[in-house]
Chains A and B, each alone.
Chain A
Amino acid sequence: KNEVEQSPQNLTAQEGEFITINCSYSVGISALHWLQQHPGGGIVSLFMLSSGKKKHGRLIATINIQEKHSSLHITASHPRDSAVYICAAITGNQFYFGTGTSLTVIP
């Protein structure tokens, strides 16, 4: 069993749709990261969460510590949002990565 589970694995959306990606973890964490990996391979950190909710532009990330669950939402999705989204849970001195959600937004 993976310490971090993401769903869905693949997601295709029409431009403008509201998107939700889910991340559940089984370990106690000090923080959780949401990362975006572009088709060219570069990785960008979107959010670092330890509690509550964060918003940046069209992106919103939430975390529920009690339920060990985090969500990444994209409002008014755009083709440039097409990428792989990865959650990573940090516990102690270890990172545990989800397998990623591949998002394709169609114009």
Chain B
Amino acid sequence: GAGVSQSPSNKVTEKGKDVELRCDPISGHTALYWYRQSLGQGLEFLIYFQGNSAPDKSGLPSDRFSAERTGGSVSTLTIQRTQQEDSAVYLCASSSDRDEKLFFGSGTQLSVL
């Protein structure tokens, strides 16, 4: 595609529910990144994929968070048993390879009530 696409753009959920966020990177980009930005806060790195592999998952805030990438393309970020502190904008970026220019999606605004 022309750019990084994220869906949904907005998600409102109840505390305790599971949510799944999707990222479609630019075609051919091998590196894919997930970040989040809480209201009024800075960017927080969550996880990086090179191909389908995530070498380091230590950036995920808790074991309620998981991410996968299949076919070297689409990635999903799953948050189980959502909590109010999970409310944030979840951003995805891709690049042609690690340490190359990043291209960001427009994010998913997650609100946990």
Contacts and interface: CB of A to CB of B under 8 A. Distances in A.
B56 A88 contact: no
A53 B43 CA distance: 25
A41 B89 contact: yes
A86 interface: yes
Nearest to A49: B99
B21 interface: no
A100 B42 contact: yes
B99 A86 contact: no
Given A99-B42, A100-B42, A45 B56 contact: no
Nearest to B43: A97
Interface string B24-46: 00000000010100000011110
B106 A42 contact: yes
Nearest to A96: B45
- Bin chain A's interface residue count: 20 to 34
Interface on chain A toward B: helix, strand, loop, or mixed SS?
strand
Given A31-B99, A43-B91, A50-B99, A94 B45 contact: yes
Given A33-B102, A44-B104, A45-B101, A93 B42 contact: no
Nearest to A97: B43
A31 B48 CA distance: 15
B100 interface: yes
A86 B43 contact: yes
Contacts of B35: 95
Contacts of A45: 93, 101-104
A86 B107 contact: no
B42 A98 contact: yes
13 contacts: A31-B99, A35-B102, A41-B107, A43-B104, A44-B104, A45-B101, A48-B100, A50-B99, A86-B42, A93-B48, A94-B45, A94-B48, A97-B42
